[in-house]
Every structure is written in structure tokens, then in C-alpha cells.
Structure 1
Amino acid sequence: MPKLLNTALGSLRPSGIRRINALAAQRPGCIALALGEPDFGTPAPIVDAAALSLASGATHYPPNAGTPELRRALARYMAASGLAYEPDEVVVTCGATEALAATFAALLNPGDEVAILTPAFGLYESLALMNHAVPVPVDTEPHGFQIDEAALRRRISPATKAIVLCSPGNPTGCVLSTGSLDAIARLASETGIYVVCDDVYNRLVYTGGYARFAALHGELRDRIVVVDSFSKPWAMTGWRLGWVAACADVASEIAKAHQFTVSSVPAFEMPAAECALTCDPAPMLEAYRARRERVMAALRDMGLPLVEPAGAFYAFPNVGRFGLPSDAFCERAIEEAGVALVPGTCFGCEGYVRLSYCVADEDLDEGLRRLASFVARLSDKDA
């Protein structure tokens, strides 16, 4: 009889987002507004830099934490937005996913608690469980996806090791207010918990008033971890390139977890990553901005309540009035209307669905028409 496998992995559920995408793929002609993947190609200068790097022989082992040139470039890049990190406080990772995995491995001991602001990307819960820690959801839905300090404090215990925030957020697209960030800062200052900032959407902001936690509360840099990625702003999802920045003591432990998990990112990609930092993603941002306006107008016309997304490329409308679980709503939308959305249960928030507008304009417009027809049919049945 073989020994038991890792019980932490046994408790994990496969990605609900990927399940929906697979269902959509089985329905001929279905338009998927499900994945958070830019429809644009990677800008040509970045691709050219990778090709040149390969041609010049960058096919050998690089330094584990990234080339000195890229780490210096990332430090300069972050400094421009008010984040003060030295190159040796930066670790280049295989996307934000591996950055978060290495961070959790460095921070967590079995039994530690991780506060997660929900609705949230399911990766945070899964990584906590993989490290034999305890994910603790902090529900922000009653407060317009902002933080109520009293509610947050009720979810914090002596076992809390870290809190994870994502602003702009996935799935809501909401930007945490200064008041919300200040509430987290007060708690971190009092308790010493770490603040893990998933900042992968920080270049995709459409309204004023955006502030990054690490820039606003640099006095807490000894307990802040910043995670960022090339995937979203530069349409580089398949490159699997990201980075993490933290004070030297924490960064060195994250670098260990990174080294013993993946060794390094591919050598030839790092010059391309340097190039990306010099490329302006504004044209893609403006396309997303125009799509966002169309999505908000369409959802309003459908009568679906929505907290206005200020960033990222998601809308998170409330579909609770139809009396359907969000999973059933999305499954029926695929089968009956040929449009795929992600149920709110994937993010720990029932009664909502996530709509991604990082798709081609014609697909977005047709997907919105199909969704409107589906919603109208559901409304007629309720009448």
C-alpha cells in the first residue's frame, strides 16, 4: 500500500476559470469573455530583443535571481513610481504566479493564517493551503469592495502572518481607496503582519486617485512584499516573466524559494524584459479604456448592478436578482447564448460574474449582444 500523497494538494480544487474556458471551447462559436489575457500581441521591440538575445547566444544558465542588468532596470522602473528598492532586493520570477508562490513559501509556516480580501483571485487561497497555512477570507462586498476596518480587524488573529491585497483588483477592477490602504497600514504597524501587494494591474488604471500601498506606506517596507508582472501591461502572458521586491532580509528568503523551485527564468528573455520596461503600454490601455466604457454602458442597459471598475480589464456585475447560483448562470450563458463568463464563486463571492474585456473589439461587442439577449430572456421568465 503506497504512502499518502501530500494532503495539502489533495484539498485543492482545479481552476474554476479554466473549467469555464473548457466548457466554452466545447460549445461551437462560443465567445469567451472569461480569461484575463490581453488579445494584443507582444510589442515588436520586445520580441526583437528576445530574438537578438537568442542569436547572441544567451542560452546558458543565468544568475538565479535575474541578471544584474535587469534587476537594476527594475529598481529604476519602480523608483519612478515611488517604490524604493535596491537591485539586490529584486528577484526575477516565472510570472507573478511564481513570485507569489515563492513569497508564500518564504513567509508561511504550517498553521499561519493569511487574510485574503475577497472577492479575490483563487491562487492566493491555493498557495496558502499548499504551504499548510490557513486562508482567512475578508469579505469586502458589503462595503463596495473597499475595506471596513472594523470588519478587517475581526478577521485578524495572533496566528495571522500576512494579508494579500490586489489593487486594481481581480475580479472587480476596483482600486482600493487611500482609506482602505491606511486601514491595512495601521493593522500591519500594530501587529507586524506582512502585506503582500499583488500589483500586476498597476499600469492599467483609468481614473484618478490611484496609489500603490508600498509607495504610500514606505515606513512599513520591512513587512511589504511587492509582486509585479510583465504579462498584463505588455501582453506577455506566455513569456512567464514577473518579479518580486522586498527588503533585503525577506528578498533573500524569497530568492531561496525561487532558486530551489525553478532555478531562474530563461536567460534569453531577460534582455527582452529590459526592453519592455522602456515600452509605453498606453496604446493598449486606451483600447481597454474604450472597451470599458462600452461594457459599463451595456451592463447598465441590461440592468445589472456594477461597482465601476477603475482599473484592470474586468467588470464584476451582480446577477443575483435572477435567483441562479453564479455557476448555473455562467453554464447556461454558454449553452443558451454562446457567451462565457466566470462565476463569482471562483473568487469567493456568490451572486456575481466576471466579464473580461481584454478581447478583440468584435468579439466583445458580439459577446455583449449575446449576454443582453440572455439576460432579457431571464428577465422575461421572472416577470
Structure 2
Amino acid sequence: MPAAPRPVNTGIARLAPSAIRRIGSLAAATPGCISLALGEPEFDTPDPVRAEAKAALDRGETHYAPNAGTPGLRRAISAYMADRGLAYAPDEVLVTLGATEAISSALLALLNPGDEVIIPAPAFVSYESVTRMNHAVPVRLDTAPCGFQIDEAALRALVTDATKAVVINSPNNPTGRLLSAASLDAVARVAAEFGLYVVSDDVYCRLVFDGECERFAARHPELRAQTVVVESFSKPWAMTGWRMGWIACAEPLMSQVAKAHQAAASSSVAFCMEAAERALAIDPAPMLETYRRRRDRVVAALDAMGLPVARPQGAFYAFPSIAGTGMGDEEFCERAVSEAGVGLVPGSSFGAPGHVRLSFCVSDGDLDLALERLAAFVS
């Protein structure tokens, strides 16, 4: 009789399945249900980008790409970031399999077991998951009392001898809110005082409705050695299925992140490199304008339903409070699928119970019908 298998990675075993995918699957299995659960633009990737990929396949670019990405794409990303006030040389840029792999490789390079990562919540689910996978400890900073901004005193109160990094995201998923200059400065002061790394997830920085998105790395170049910038092609250019993103950071950190990336993914996809380079030259403004109009309709509809919501300033999400309905967010989302035919994500999966996330990157017709159904359900 063989011995029982030894335990798997406890960091993995403790993880719960993604609520986003769970609700998405529940919605897909419910006839006629409209899912507002995924951050998946309904737009197709722009034609010039697709044409580049087809041409690359015709040229036979089906072999391994360089681990860090082609020199041409890294130069293009470097120039693109420089135009936005971020100074990173091509050899300080690494092309990844989307932002999720970028975050994973960055935290893999940074964390030792027992390290702590401060995550302002609500926050994208991967930050906590990847931290736990590395046998490190996620520490939530509740931003709701400050209007989804970062209070310096609250941040300082969470710093311990084990704290290694702070992860920030602006515009934020799931709230759509921008971090203010005061929030960025608070993070910078604490990071400088305690030698913390700042992982700045900027994947929605091209999708901003109100004002400018101030970037942490541009505002605080004095912390260059401690800053990791994550970006992605997925959201601004409707390239979610391409799995193309990048990391930018200074040496000596980049050499460590590159080793983590090489072990986890080897490289990104060769025939997508020139297509991604082409995308950088395309202005996503037409898609952004569509999202802006939808944002306005969603906020008006939620106000009419009596669901309080902080007005999204970017991305394509709204994060209303459902506390007044008397239901928990899990119950609300499950009943919304079964009784209203609308898929939403529980706020508890982002570290903010009592809220739900609504994605408005679906077609106008689906969005309007889903809002009608949701209004009837709430009433």
C-alpha cells in the first residue's frame, strides 16, 4: 500500500477560487443572464494590431522570443513611458504575459516567507493571492473611510519589521477611483522612511475620464530604486486574449525580476511583439469616450436605485454599496443572477464587503438591459 501523498503547497491550498470567475461561470450557466462580472472589453483589438500579428506569422515568427522581449518592443515601451514622464531605458523594461504575470514575477522576486505586503483595499484579487502563494502575508489597508484614498497615519500603523512592499493601483479596480497626489505622497514618505518597495499597478492609466492620472513613478523619481511599474496592453487596446504586459524597474531589481519571469514564463509570444509595438501608437480615445458615456449612465442608474457609489474616474467599473438592501454581497450577487439575470462580483472578494463590482465594458444594449433588470431587482 503506497504512502499517502505529501501535502501540496499550503500557500496555494489556502486560496479560494476566483469569485470573478465563479460568478462569471454562474452567469454563463443561467439562460439569458447578462454578465457584468468580467473586465473584458467588448471591442475587438484594433485592425492594425491584428494585421501586424498576421504578418509576423506569415514571416515565420513562431520561435522563442528573447526572455525580456524583443529589442524593438522594449525600445518602443521605453519611448512610450518617457512621453508620459517615466524614465526607463529599454534594458529596464521586461515584456510579460499580461499584468497578472508581471505582478506575480515582481512579488516572486521581492518576497521571502513571512514578509508582509500592505494592500490598500478594495483591491484586485491577485495581489493577495500571489502574496500568499509566496508564503508571505497580505495586510489590508481599508481605504473606504477616506473615500478610497490612502491615509498616511493608517498606512504607518500597519508597517512592521516584516513589511516589504506596498501595492497601489490607480485608477483602481474595483472602484474606478484615482489616487490623489496626497495619497501618492503618503505612500512615498512611508516607503522612503522604511525602505519599502512600491509596486504600482498602472494598467488602467490610459482609461481616465476626469483629469489626469498622476503616476507614482513620475511623481516620485527619488524612489526609482524601490519602484516597480506594471502596465498591460489588455485594457486600453482591447487585447485581453493576447496576454501582453510589461514591468519597468531599475537595476539591480530588474535582474532579479527577470530571473523570476524566466522561471515562470520563459518569454512572451514572439509573433505578438511587433503587434504590441504597433498598439502603443494607437490612441484609445474612441473606446475611452464610449466608457465615459457608459459611466455616466451607470452612475445615474445606481443613484436612482438608491445604491451609493463613488463616481468612477477611470477604468470601467462601478463599486456601489448594497448595505442598504439588507443583504450581504455574496447573497446579493447570487440572487441577482438567479432572480434578475445579472452577473455582478461580490465586494468581499476585493476586501470590501457590502459592495458589488459592476463592469460597464459590455455592449450598450446589454448594459441598459442589465441596469433595468438590476433596478427592478433592487426595488
**TM-score normalised to structure 2 length:** 0.98
TM-superposed CA distance for 1:209, in Å, is 4.4
Aligned length: 376
| Residue pairs, 1:18-167, within 5 angstroms | 18-167=21-170
Deviations, residues 11-36 of structure 1 (Å, cap 9, x unaligned): 11110110111111111000111100
Question: Matched residues in 2 for 1:373 and 1:322: separation?
Answer: 13
Question: Matched residues in 1 for 2:30 and 2:198: separation?
Answer: 41
| Residue pairs, 1:193-342, within 5 angstroms | 193-342=196-345
Q: CA RMSD in A?
A: 0.7
TM-superposed CA distance for 1:147, in Å, is 1.0
Give the equivalent residue in structure 1 for 2:11. Answer: 8
| Residue pairs, 1:353-372, within 5 angstroms | 353-372=356-375
Contact 1:88 1:248 in 2 (8 A): no
Matched AA of 1:66: G
Contact 1:108 1:131 in 2 (8 A): yes
What are structure 1's unaligned runs of at least 5 residues?
377-383
What is the DSSP-based 3-state SS (H/G/I as helix, E as strand, rest coil) of the residue aligned with 1:165?
strand
Question: Matched residues in 2 for 1:258 and 1:159: separation?
Answer: 24
What is the DSSP-based 3-state SS (H/G/I as helix, E as strand, rest coil) of the residue aligned with 1:58?
coil
TM-superposed CA distance for 1:210, in Å, is 2.5
**Which stretch shows the higher mean deviation, 298-307 or 228-237?**
298-307
Deviations, residues 247-301 of structure 1 (Å, cap 9, x unaligned): 0211111111111111101111000000000111111000001100100111111
Q: Which ranges of 4 or more aligned residues in structure 1 deviate by more than 2 Å?
A: none
Question: Matched residues in 2 for 1:355 and 1:113: separation?
Answer: 30
TM-superposed CA distance for 1:61, in Å, is 1.4
**TM-score normalised to structure 1 length:** 0.97
What is the DSSP-based 3-state SS (H/G/I as helix, E as strand, rest coil) of the residue aligned with 1:268?
helix
What is the DSSP-based 3-state SS (H/G/I as helix, E as strand, rest coil) of the residue aligned with 1:279?
coil
Question: Matched residues in 1 for 2:270 and 2:208: separation?
Answer: 31
TM-superposed CA distance for 1:355, in Å, is 0.5
Matched AA of 1:216: R
Question: Matched residues in 2 for 1:337 and 1:3: separation?
Answer: 45
Question: Matched residues in 2 for 1:300 and 1:134: separation?
Answer: 37
Deviations, residues 297-356 of structure 1 (Å, cap 9, x unaligned): 111111111111100000000110112110000111111111111110110111100000
Question: Matched residues in 2 for 1:210 and 1:49: separation?
Answer: 30
Matched AA of 1:310: Q
